[in-house]
Structure 1
Amino acid sequence: MGMTRRTVLAALATAVAGASAGNPALDDLAYAETSSRNRLDVHLPEGKGPFPWLLDLHGGGFRTGDKRSLPVPPQLPAQGIAVVRMNYRLSNQALWPAQEGDVLAAVAFLNRRGPDLGLMPGRMALGGRSAGAFMAVSAALTLAARDRPPRAVVDFYGPMDFGSLDADLAKLGRRLRRTPADSPRSVESLLVGYPVGQRREQATPLSPVGRLRAMRPGTPLPPLMIRHGAQDGIVPAGQAERLRTAWAAVDPRAEIDFALLPHEGHGTGGFGRAAVQEALARFLARHLSG
């Protein structure tokens, strides 16, 4: 069930009253009524808003995870950027593209209610980690097709082409640490509702890389930041390479800030280090300002 108008107003009043304490937060705001998972948290920088914002999506193989697992890096509020963490329906609750629908509903809610929440409508970036990155990039492409793109997109170690995941894993020459994507039991197959390996012609076009290949060359795309672990044995770095290539093929003028972290695996500690978070903060500040 969603929050009542009285509850929402009370939460907003609490956030405004707490602004002087630094980093006030609005927790568990309902952005839609479809599921009890349709909740988000807003973390504001110190000072007087409204602020530009990053909508950040958690990972978990599309079947687990929670917004509270996402850190709020201090480098972002230090740059005057708010962080919004959201939950979405998991694949055991709804099949794709319900999850993208949740992201788009959250974007609409935040743009509509932005002034009340301390956020600047339209001054947003979409980002995520692993499965969350898949959703963030997918939603960004939908918004770009509607001529309402985010100002920036962030992909941290996300799968970007279900149809080629196993081929990219095979190139690593290692023992698999995960169920092959082609298997009916893979997190990718459970998300789309059919075995990826048996219906590759359907799975490939719904992934971001497949969607980019179907887009008209010259379509404007937002700036893109990609960080991926070179040692990732769950979502191989070839997925990041495929996204970079497909993004540049559609819009050669779009900025792509791409880096493989040489010693990192899937979501390992290096992604939280100051150098990575400072690079993220600079990237977002550059594209969310003005």
Structure 2
Amino acid sequence: MNPDNDLRTLIAAPHPDEAPLPPAAVLADGVRLLRGVPYADVPGARPLELDLWLPEPRPGRSPAPLVIFVHGGAWRRGRREDMGYRMRRWEPGPFARIAAAGLAVASVDYRLSGEALFPAPLEDLRSALRWLVRRSPELATDPERVVVWGESAGGHLAALLALSPGAPRLKGAVAWYAPSDLTRQGDDPGSPEALLLGAPPADVPDLARQASPEAQVRPGAPPFLLAHGEDDSMVACDHSRRLAARLGEVGTAVELWTLPGADHVWHGLSDAQVDDVFTRTLRWIRQRTG
């Protein structure tokens, strides 16, 4: 073997499929937090990572259901530890609360529109799901009880993941105030949709349709929960209404919650109302994974 190639192999970081998990920090309620776990190596891109919140291990406890969380940010920005500005000051935070309720959480990075164009972020979520299934014995999670949950642009990607043909069967999908039809977004080259697709949706109609959950609805999809503010000024509530109708047409179980007085990211709701939406969503997930 060429000595240079041998040295490159020796010093290369372990592949994410085989790399040891990092040490866990123990939080309140016995929740374990593993930050910055690599799940994919994409040539020419930054390492793709996820954070894991795992319930307290107990003797005799069954593997935990898993929530894959996808952050928002118009596909252009955002951080995986952020569920939205209304929950940033929660203590404990929303992911720790989910883990304390007995569900594991994987909050996932994906390539943003300044790094790669669609379908790159969806491919990243598929890679994360594959990695989480592969490593489930180490994580004490149940690969047969997985729900994907996203907010805003993350809800859009979560819906597409749940609707992907051939993807491992999910138990449910949650999309908060998410766009569902990119084909109607017009010809503004600076819009978030155009930056995601590489061109205004009107110029790439086939790609815009591929990136639209409403157009990808198929029989056999997992149950959906869609939650949207009726006064959303950034993503009209009709996106969730139309997606719910389309899911219902093919026989998919779907719940649609529309919240009066709520703008995007639950702006306009009281703290108690935001807490209620979160709690009801968690209850829905537990019902699907129980």
Q: TM-score surpassing 0.5?
A: yes
Cα distance in 2, alignment partners of residues 9 and 96 from structure 1: 31
**Distance in 2 between residues matched to 1:222 and 1:183, nearest whole Å:** 34
Instruction: Give the whole-Å Cα distance in 2 for the aligned partners of 1:200 and 1:255.
Output: 28
**Counterpart selection for 2:66 from 53, 65, 73:** 53
Count of residues in correspondence between the two structures? 262
Residue 117 of structure 1, CA deviation:
1.8
Distance 1:160 1:101, change over 3 A: same
Partner amino acid, structure 2, of 1:22: G
Aligned counterparts of 1:262 and 1:20: Cα–Cα separation in 2: 35
**In the alignment, what sits opposite 2:274?**
273
Describe how 1:132-211 pairs up with structure 2 within 5 A.
132-142=154-164, 145-146=165-166, 148-165=168-185, 181-211=186-216
- Deviation track 1:61-119 (CA, whole Å, cap 9, x = no partner) reads 11111102235255523431111101100111111001100000000000000111232
CA 53–162 in structure 1, closer or farther in 2 if over 3 Å, else same: same
Q: Which has the higher helix share?
A: 1
Q: How far off its partner does 1:194 sit?
A: 1.4
1:115-162 Cα deviation digits (max 9, x unpaired): 1123222321011011111111111111xx216321000000111101
Structure 1 match to 2:5: none
Letter in 2 for 1:157: Y
* Preserved contact between residue 3 and residue 30 of structure 1 (Cα < 8 Å): no
Pairing partner for 1:42 from 44, 52, 56: 52
Distance in structure 2 (CA, Å) of the matches to 1:266 and 1:242: 17
Q: 1:117 — aligned with what?
A: 139
Matches within 5 A, 1:83-102: 83-102=105-124
SS in 2 for 1:183: coil
- 3-state SS of the aligned residue for 2:203? coil
Structure 2 gap segments, 5+ residues each: 1-10, 84-92
Secondary structure of residue in 2 paired with 1:69: coil
Residues 158-211 of structure 1, C-alpha deviations (whole Å, 9 max, x = no match) = 11101224xxxxxxxxxxxxxxx5311111011111111233354234311112
Q: Distance in 1 between matches of 2:28 and 2:174?
A: 30
SS of the counterpart of 2:194?
helix
Match of 1:237 in 2: 237
**CA-atom RMSD, angstroms?**
2.5
The residue that corresponds to 1:177 in the other structure is: none
- Corresponding residue to 1:9 among 4, 20, 23: 20
In 2: Cα distance, 1:184 partner to 1:161 partner: 17
| 8 Å Cα contact 2:197/2:207 also seen in 1 | no
Match of 2:227 in 1: 227
Structure 1 unaligned regions, length at least 5:
166-180
Give 2:139's aligned amino acid. Answer: L
- In the aligned structure 1, how far is the partner of 2:110 from the partner of 2:237? 25
Offset, 1:37: 4.8
State the identity as a percent. 29
Return the letter of the residue paired with 1:276: V
* Residue identity in the other structure for 1:126: V
Letter in 1 for 2:212: S
Do 1:2 and 1:33's aligned partners in 2 also have CA atoms closer than 8 Å? no
Using the size of structure 1 for normalisation, the TM-score is: 0.82
Q: Relative to 1, partners in 2 of residues 1:10 and 1:63: Cα closer, same or farther, differing over 3 Å? A: closer
**What CA distance in whole angstroms lies between the structure 2 residues aligned with 1:185 and 1:29?**
33
In the alignment, structure 1 residue 263 sits paired with structure 2 residue 261: yes
- TM (normalized to structure 2)? 0.82
